[in-house]
Amino acid sequence: MFQTKAAARQHFLEARRLRPHAAGLLASAQQVLPEVYRVALYVSMGPEPQTGALIDWLLATNREVLLPILYADNDLGWGVAPGAADLVPGRLGLSEPPTDLGSDAIATADLVICPAVAVTHDGVRLGRGGGSYDRALARVRPGTPVWAAVYDTEIVDALPSDAHDRPVDAALTPNRLIPLRGSGDD
């Protein structure tokens, strides 16, 4: 379907831009979230599936939330979410926690929910192209579930991929959690 990652990225980002509104992930996550203590998540921006209410709910239910800190080389450090009001401005307009625990802190997460532009039924994740999450996902502890946050229409049969791309286990949409082939869930 798509010849290049750039073409796929452009297609899905344009479709998101045209969405009448961005939907949140809270309701679907509440129904499927496993018994976990530490969740690595991200602060959504613009038309991405919204994570704000999910972060607030996780904190209110005594879970710890790790949020990314974007480094100058596009790698990610991680910090504990203090609450939305206490985030600080980061690179590229991102909101970040004030304290950096380092890039290896993601290995302490019990669940990782990462952003994606699209994902395939067999777990190929398409990001925004900076490689930040592929590097971070390489540090995730083996066996830790990794979910990509997307809309239902962004789950497709095929996407271009490279050897360094890190697969995901499931797609979390505003409507449901979809296990992906090759995730060990089928």
Binding residue ranges for ATP? 125-133
Indicate the pairing of strand 146-149 with strand 170-172. parallel
Report which secondary-structure segment, H or E, holds 178: strand 177-179
Burial string for 77-111 (b: 16+ CB within 10 Å, else e) reads bbbebeeeeebeebeeebbbbeeeeebebbbbbbb
Binding positions for substrate: 43, 48
> Do 9 and 128 touch, CB atoms closer than 8 A?
yes
DSSP code of residue 24: B
Binding positions: 43, 48, 125-133
